[in-house]
Structure 1
């Protein structure tokens, strides 16, 4: 089928005619075979075949069209700066339209992919021409099963679509719950809570208890909620689905919420992370969200991990019903003992000439009453930057000056 013919179908406003025409074309090319049509998002044959190292031929009618995305290589201190070179990591082509031919398990297949422009959301239409119905369904199942599995990546939902993010996964894996400085026993309680749940499926089944878990992290910003979530993702070693937003152009929020929970149920046991819950779910979508969270649908094996900086903005139906969030963990401002532990940990990490004696650490603790962990971190980062500009200064004095300035800054922001 030519590009001109496809264009005429677009302009006719009859996408169903286009779908029929493509299927007819494929059936005519392979009269004894079977044509399968789908708009299943997980059916990405080219990605599947690429992972297997299978060669794919492009059929030039219609000419294949790819949409390209580019991402800058991840750079970290101590590494050589990434150069502006073409690489497979930076260039990420995605099929827009085209016809392809390949051999899988000794049988020949043709595949056609088209993006059909629609007013609300473009439709990704896929056709597979196979030697038989059994071969078509076997290949379809293999491709979808491959892409349904979440490996060394985090599945991120934004703009109404799922994207696998390997770089985010690698970043999260560098985090550990042991990096956190929290009140006595809190790290152990959080860790044990989720590990015990994952080890207790048989117990839940024996006592006919719904095998699901929900936890809500509460507290002012900058006090460890996100770091704790990262640590749990790294330690629990189950698939993670992360929701950036339930908002998508021209798509009802309820539909996006439904897509997220449907995908999570297919990935259990897994973590579903909902940061800043108070701003994620709004308006009329709340009742739909509550139903997905704790309604008739089975959420077996689903761990819902949510956080908020503003508990007062949450609907009481979210905040006070235990079956939705079984545990609530409060991440408050660090007290003197937590600040002391945090300052001591930073001091130990500094080069020997810059480490703080006990008296200086006690002064910093006294000067940082009301500081969040984020403010404490800024204290050391700011002091390091100032000291690097003039290394002749005593780092002790620089750190104390930085603490005083941040305290004054915080006071000016919080004062009426």
Structure 2
């Protein structure tokens, strides 16, 4: 540990953790003591003497009665004692006979000379309330300044950019995997900062800015942190939302102050995360557009590339909404490079998993490539979450190593949701779910263009009562027509299985998600991808533009009523074609449907290889008898595990028929 990494101790000069609290406490105690002294001084000055206050006439009556023992005459006030030792006080009037009257009654008279108050005491008495008020106001404003970050209550226009200077836990490019192309683009910027003469002698200029574009979780912020760890230059980081305030002009002032700070540390890097919060297209809203956000954007545009060049300052920004950014922000000279950070392919997922597995003790059976193959479409954040979930599952089981079983369970949890084993299902509901999922699986097996089955389960997960998971053998970047029709047939397999086994009137609502998927796919085929011969290769999909108060910046698609009717007919025809294909396959292979449904009722979860063995008539040997799920349902009825008798058409008869 170097000297910069040492933390100050709790000594007198150490700045321990309790010092700010003690300082605040002492300040408040001082304010209360001063207020108490002020009240005491006022009370002492305004209420001399003591006793009961009586009227002057009553005082004269007591003197005439001989009830007064002694008096003390001061300026405007008479205090004294009655014969019964009671104290009294009254206020004098201009009475020249009072002294003689007291002497006639034998009253002891004491006189106190007039007190002359110092001019300094008068000033103190008069100024003390204002001093107390100013002291309290100064203390409150100072606390607000400390608690409100950069600028505080008296500095709204100060930049909130933070300079990264920590040495421990820094991220380098070795920690970034799976996005090699984006990494190479930014490595060049780091190399330029380290050795600018290498590029300058060939006429190259340092890029003004780089915009990182990608889906959430793909590693944009991680790349920026890696640049901070590799560049060896000051690195300022700020979020786009930190510029926007309710006060007009604050955002523009913060942009100016941020660049002023960056100039003092040039060459340096400024990272703006979620820049779409401040860089949205100008004029997209209603009114004259002269709002706080647009003023902030205008100032950012001027600072990045205006009359005054900010040499040596590289702006790196990240967003997952490049479509809403202002064109003036994206032009060369401001953001010279737009670096796309995509979701990783299978090789990238392997590298990302290996990075996250470094700190996890793994069992010998863990294969990162197998896990990567089963996680298509996962981002870097998803894979990090997968490794963490597997480690948590292993710790819950008190294991010392994380095995492949935990990774499979974690993958199912991330992709399909947590198991709901406590959910009570009747025998009929469980049997219908088994046939529904078996219908999906059988259609998928007999569709050549369908992806292979990875797993089928009737254990409720998330919002689904069961699920058939298919995984592609390799990453695919485009859809083909035969695969689309195969997916339509597979999506209709569950509904058709229910209708074949339980009858038309017993079809359940469990296929709502399947119908939604099939309808959306068919609509895209007709309106986006031109896969309808009747409609033709014309785009009729509604644009997905930015909307403000219901107004879309993109023009809607115009079509006649006849065209809209034709599109609806084609969508319905494509979906019904998938329905007919699924019905034909399940009718031809209804024996396999019964076999697979029985196996799902017995084991509840089957892998793709186990499904193949079940349909081939082979036994499933899982070794541990506890892995074989009990077949007793919530209602307490045992489900038979033997093959059922033949029906009237030579097919197995459904249970409960």
**TM-score interval for Structure 1 and Structure 2 normalised by the shorter chain:** 0.5 to 0.7
* Kept in 2: contact 1:212–1:303 (CA 8 A): yes
Residue equivalent to 2:230 = 235
Go from structure 1 to structure 2 and tell me whether the alpha carbon gap of 1:290 and 1:349 turns closer, same or farther (over 3 Å shift).
Answer: same
CA distance in 1, matches of 2:301, 2:361: 51
Q: CA deviation digits over 1:105-160, x for unaligned, max 9? A: xxxxxxxxx99x89xxx89xxxxxxxxxxxxxxxxxxxxxxxxxxxxxxx978954
CA distance in 2, matches of 1:296, 1:229: 28
Please give the secondary structure, in 2, of the residue aligned with 1:304: strand
Q: Does 1:216 align with 2:211?
A: yes
Q: What does 1:265-414 correspond to in 2, within 5 Å?
A: 265-281=263-279, 282-319=293-330, 321-352=331-362, 354-358=363-367, 361-391=368-398, 395-409=403-417
1:170 shift after superposition: 2.1
Residue equivalent to 1:246 = 243
Q: What does 1:27-176 correspond to in 2, within 5 Å?
A: 88=15, 90=17, 91=19, 160-162=157-159, 169-170=165-166, 174-176=170-172
Go from structure 1 to structure 2 and tell me whether the alpha carbon gap of 1:348 and 1:202 turns closer, same or farther (over 3 Å shift).
Answer: closer
Query: CA RMSD of the aligned region, Å?
Result: 4.2
Go from structure 1 to structure 2 and tell me whether the alpha carbon gap of 1:255 and 1:394 turns closer, same or farther (over 3 Å shift).
Answer: closer
Structure 2 unaligned residues grouped into runs of 5+ = 1-5, 28-133, 143-148, 280-292, 419-460, 464-512, 521-657
* Kept in 1: contact 2:218–2:379 (CA 8 A): yes
Go from structure 1 to structure 2 and tell me whether the alpha carbon gap of 1:355 and 1:278 turns closer, same or farther (over 3 Å shift).
Answer: farther
* Kept in 1: contact 2:266–2:312 (CA 8 A): yes
CA distance in 2, matches of 1:266, 1:190: 23
1:185 shift after superposition: 4.9
Q: Does 1:183 align with 2:179?
A: yes
CA distance in 1, matches of 2:261, 2:168: 21
CA distance in 1, matches of 2:236, 2:270: 5
CA distance in 1, matches of 2:360, 2:256: 48
Go from structure 1 to structure 2 and tell me whether the alpha carbon gap of 1:381 and 1:226 turns closer, same or farther (over 3 Å shift).
Answer: same
Go from structure 1 to structure 2 and tell me whether the alpha carbon gap of 1:296 and 1:210 turns closer, same or farther (over 3 Å shift).
Answer: farther
CA distance in 1, matches of 2:407, 2:313: 45
CA distance in 2, matches of 1:164, 1:89: 26
CA distance in 2, matches of 1:157, 1:215: 28
* Kept in 2: contact 1:160–1:248 (CA 8 A): no
* Kept in 2: contact 1:180–1:228 (CA 8 A): yes
CA distance in 1, matches of 2:349, 2:183: 16
* Kept in 2: contact 1:216–1:305 (CA 8 A): yes
Q: CA deviation digits over 1:212-237, x for unaligned, max 9? A: 53111110111111111111111111
* Kept in 2: contact 1:204–1:210 (CA 8 A): yes
1:182 shift after superposition: 2.5
Please give the secondary structure, in 2, of the residue aligned with 1:351: coil
Please give the secondary structure, in 2, of the residue aligned with 1:273: strand
CA distance in 1, matches of 2:184, 2:301: 29
Q: CA deviation digits over 1:17-51, x for unaligned, max 9? A: xxxxxxxxxxxxxxxxxxxxxxxxxxxxxxxxxxx
CA distance in 2, matches of 1:163, 1:251: 17
Go from structure 1 to structure 2 and tell me whether the alpha carbon gap of 1:172 and 1:407 turns closer, same or farther (over 3 Å shift).
Answer: farther
Q: CA deviation digits over 1:274-326, x for unaligned, max 9? A: 1111013433432222111111112111111111121122112222x111111
Higher relative contact order (CA 8 A, sep 6+): 1
Q: CA deviation digits over 1:353-403, x for unaligned, max 9? A: x35433xx3331222111111111111111111210113597221110110
Go from structure 1 to structure 2 and tell me whether the alpha carbon gap of 1:250 and 1:344 turns closer, same or farther (over 3 Å shift).
Answer: closer
Bigger shift: residues 226-235 or 191-200: 191-200
> Which has the higher Rg, Structure 1 or Structure 2?
2
User: Which structure has greater strand proportion?
Assistant: 1
CA distance in 1, matches of 2:384, 2:364: 15
Residue equivalent to 1:264 = 262
